[in-house]
Amino acid sequence: NTMKLTVQNIYDFYAPSQCERRLFYRFIGEKEASPGPFEQVIFRLGQRHEKNHIDSLGEYVNVSRLPSNQRPEKTKELIQSNAPIIYQGVLVAEEIINEYKVQIIGVPDILIHEDISYVIRDCKLARHADAKKHPEILIQLQVYGYLYEKNTQSKPARLEAFLGDGSIVEFPYDGGDSAMEVLKALVDIVSSHDIPYSPVGWSKCQGCGFSRICWDVAVERNDVALVYGVDQSLARVLKDEGILTIDDLLTSYDEVSLCQLKKPWGTRVRKVGNSARGILFHARAMKEKMNVLVDKVDLPDNSNLVMFDVEGLPPYLDELEKVYLWGIQVYGEKPGPFIPALSAISPDGDQKSWEDFLSNCCTIFNEYGDIPFVHWHHYEKIKVELYMERYGDSKGVAQRVLDNLVDLLPLTKKAMVLAEPSYSLKVVERCTGFKRSQNEYGAKWSMAKYIEAVETEDGNLRQDIIDQILKYNEEDLAASWAVFQWLKKQVGK
C-alpha cells in the first residue's frame, strides 16, 4: 500500500534527457536491454571518482557495508552522535503525495559534519551542474536536503556536488519546495494507468534500453516525432492537438498554419516560423520513403580530397578534453593510405599524436597542394582550434588545414531532404548503400574501447582493441567519401 520512490528515480526521469517513459518502465520493472560499453565505462568511472574522493577526506563510516534494512536507522544514529563523515548513508521519509502514501528513499554519497549540522555532498562525473545542463544533480541534492530535514528536524549546512574536474559547487537548500514539486511530478507519472507520453528523438533514444518498445513502435506507427525538425516541445504540442502521425501532420497543417503554431521555448513560447517548410518537406519525404533534392550546392571540384575524422574524449572522461585519434585518408584519382595519428598511452601521448597529425598533413600538402579536408559536422574544426591553442602551430600546418576544411553535413542538409529522422553520418551513409565490416561501432563505443585499452595490462588485448578503433575510424572516412560521391551524383542530376 506504500509507493516507494528513490532519488535514483529522479535520474531515471532527467538523464541523459528528460523521459517520462524511461522512468515509468523502470519503476514497473519492464525488461531493459543491458547497458552498452559506454554506459558501463561511465558507471565504473563514476564509482572510481566517488571512491577517490571519499578516501581523500580521511576516516569515515561506510554504511553501505550493513544489511539494507539496517542502514536507515544506523544513519540516524551516526547523525545524532555527530559522526565526522558518513559514507553511503540512507535517509528515508514517508509523505502523502497526490493522495498516495509514498516512502522516499535517498542515499547521499557523503555527509560531512559541520557545526551543528551536516554538509550533503554528491559525487558526479559531470563538469557542470546547473538547471539547464544537469537539472538532476540539483534536484537530487534538494531531495537529500528534504530527507535530512525530515529525519533530523534541522536544515542541512549546505548542499554540494563534487564534480568531475575536482571542483565543488554549492547549492542553497530551498526548504524542500523544489523536492516536493518534482516528487509530485514523479508520482503522477509512475501512478499512471496508461503508459505516459514522451516523444521519441534520435539522440534521445539511441542506446536506450527501451528502444524496442519506444523507437521501434514509433517507426511502425509513423510517429510525427520522427520527422526531422520536430523537436520534443513541438511534438508535445502536436500531440495535444491530436497530431500523432506523419499523415496527421500533412493533412492538418500547411506551411502557413504550421508556421503560426506556437511551442514552448525556455520560459516563453515562440512560433514554429521558418522551420515549418523544412518540417513539412521532411514529413512528405518520410511518408513517400523518398529522398528529395531541393537545392544545388557547391562541392569541391578537386580530383583528390582528404577525408578527415577525429575520435575524442569529453573532459569528464579524461583530465583533458582529449583527441585520441586523428584519422585522414586521401581519396580520388590519386588515393592514399589510411594515416592515423593515435595517442600513445604515455604522459606525452596527447602532444605526440597532435604533432604526428600535423606531420601527416604536411606530407599530404607537399604532395597534393591545398587539398580540401572533408569532415562531417563541426567537431573536427573545434578540435583543431583547441589543439592549436594547447600545443601551438609553429609551421602553420594546422591553420592550413583550417583554411581547407569542408563540412559535408550542412551541404548535405541544404541539398537533400532525407526520408530519415537524422542527418547523422551513420544514417546518411545508409542512403549510399555503404556497409561496415564491424557489428559494433560508433563514437561512444570507440570512447569506451579506448578507455578499456588504456586500463588493460594485457598487451595483446590492448592491440586488438586499438585495431578495432582504427578500423572504425578508417570506415568513418570511407563512409564520408561514399556520402560525398553520392551527394555529388545527386546534385549533378
Residue 229 pLDDT more than 90? yes
The confidence score (pLDDT) of residue 406 equals 98
**Contact call for residues 307 and 328 (beta carbons, < 8 A):** yes
The confidence score (pLDDT) of residue 16 equals 87
Residue 493 pLDDT more than 60? no
> What's the average model confidence in pLDDT over 112-139?
92
The confidence score (pLDDT) of residue 319 equals 67
Nearest CA among 379, 369, 254 for reference residue 310 = 379
Exposed / middle / buried, residue 305 (Cβ in 10 Å: 0-12, 13-18, 19+): buried
Q: Tens digits of per-residue pLDDT, 293-321?
A: 999 999 999 999 999 999 999 877 666 78
**The three cell numbers locating residue 173:** 537548500
The confidence score (pLDDT) of residue 314 equals 85
The confidence score (pLDDT) of residue 54 equals 97
Per-residue pLDDT band for 491 (boundaries 50, 70, 90) equals confident
**Contact call for residues 433 and 484 (beta carbons, < 8 A):** no
Q: Tens digits of per-residue pLDDT, 134-158?
A: 899 999 999 999 999 999 999 999 9
Burial 259-281 (b: 16+ CB within 10 A, else e): bebebeeeeeeeebeebbebbbb
Which residues is 61 bridged to in the sheet? 86
Which residues is 159 bridged to in the sheet? 120, 171
Exposed / middle / buried, residue 460 (Cβ in 10 Å: 0-12, 13-18, 19+): exposed
Alpha carbons 130 and 268: distance in angstroms, whole number? 19
Q: Tens digits of per-residue pLDDT, 334-380?
A: 999 999 999 998 889 999 999 999 999 999 999 999 999 999 999 99
The confidence score (pLDDT) of residue 128 equals 84
Per-residue pLDDT band for 29 (boundaries 50, 70, 90) equals very high
Average pLDDT over the chain reads 95
Q: Tens digits of per-residue pLDDT, 168-185?
A: 999 999 999 999 999 999
The confidence score (pLDDT) of residue 385 equals 98
The pTM for the full model equals: 0.90
Residues 6+ apart with CB under 8 A from 43: 35
Alpha carbons 92 and 19: distance in angstroms, whole number? 25
Placement of cell 519492464 in the chain: 30
Which of the pair, 326 or 38, is modelled with greater confidence? 326
Q: What are phi and psi of 274, to 5 degrees?
A: -65, -15
Q: Tens digits of per-residue pLDDT, 372-388?
A: 999 999 999 999 999 99
The confidence score (pLDDT) of residue 321 equals 84
DSSP-assigned letter for residue 77: H
Exposed / middle / buried, residue 405 (Cβ in 10 Å: 0-12, 13-18, 19+): middle
Per-residue pLDDT band for 439 (boundaries 50, 70, 90) equals confident
Q: Residue 242, Cβ neighbours under 10 Å: how many?
A: 8
Q: Tens digits of per-residue pLDDT, 54-94?
A: 999 999 999 999 999 999 999 999 999 999 999 999 999 99
**Alpha-carbon dihedral sign for residues 164, 168, 173, 174:** negative
The confidence score (pLDDT) of residue 323 equals 97
CA distances 12 to 253, 362, 401, Å, are: 35, 48, 42
Angle between the N-to-C axes of helices 7-14 and 135-152, in degrees from 0 to 180, rounded to the nearest 10: 160
